[in-house]
Amino acid sequence: MQVPHRFISPAPHFEPPTRNGVHPLGRRPVAEPRVGTTRRSPHDGRSPRRTLPRPNVENAAPPELRRFTEHSLRLTLEVLDGRRPPAHLRPLLTKSVHDLVPALVRSAPAGRRLGGAILTRIHIRVVQVDAAEVFGTYNRGGRVFALAARIERGKGAHPAGWAITSLQIA
């Protein structure tokens, strides 16, 4: 009997529990390795490699924009979970967006009962010299949710000069 090898171990849980004591990842089922499966063909199961087109260098996000985006979206999710006060977002959001945050916190974001939100992936598309559109995903208890934002330079009090001018969380 051949046991499959595991080359990568799961990342450690580093998010603190939420106020109600639920772990951010909730309970995730542990996949057990299949035993006794045999290959019916000599194919190794991997798909052929395809070369992806090179990203458009003109639309590449500057490093400071990427850092700001990751930082501000992580803080936003922490505020929506109740792990931080809304005042922490004041330098990151425009006034109109910041005024909506308390209402979002009270309305209980999607899946809050599943645990805390963990930002997993973001994509940044620079649409103008001083504006970018961001979309990404975050996890709650093993489920995946989406978010989107527009970030503009010169609209906020953050030292990098960027601010979130529009925010949508699903």
Q: What tens digit of pLDDT does each residue of 54-72 get? A: 555 556 788 888 999 999 9
CATH number at residue 73: 3.10.450
37-52 pLDDT tens trace: 565 666 666 776 666 6
155-167 pLDDT tens trace: 666 666 889 999 9
Give the domain range for residue 162.
Answer: 1-170
Whole-prediction pTM value? Answer: 0.64
Question: What is the phi-psi region of residue 108: left when phi exceeds 0, alpha when psi lies from -120 to 50, beta otherwise?
Answer: left
Distance CA 60, CA 73 (A): 19
What is the number of domains present in the chain?
1
The pLDDT value recorded for residue 160 is: 67
User: How many angstroms separate the first and last alpha carbons of the chain?
Assistant: 45
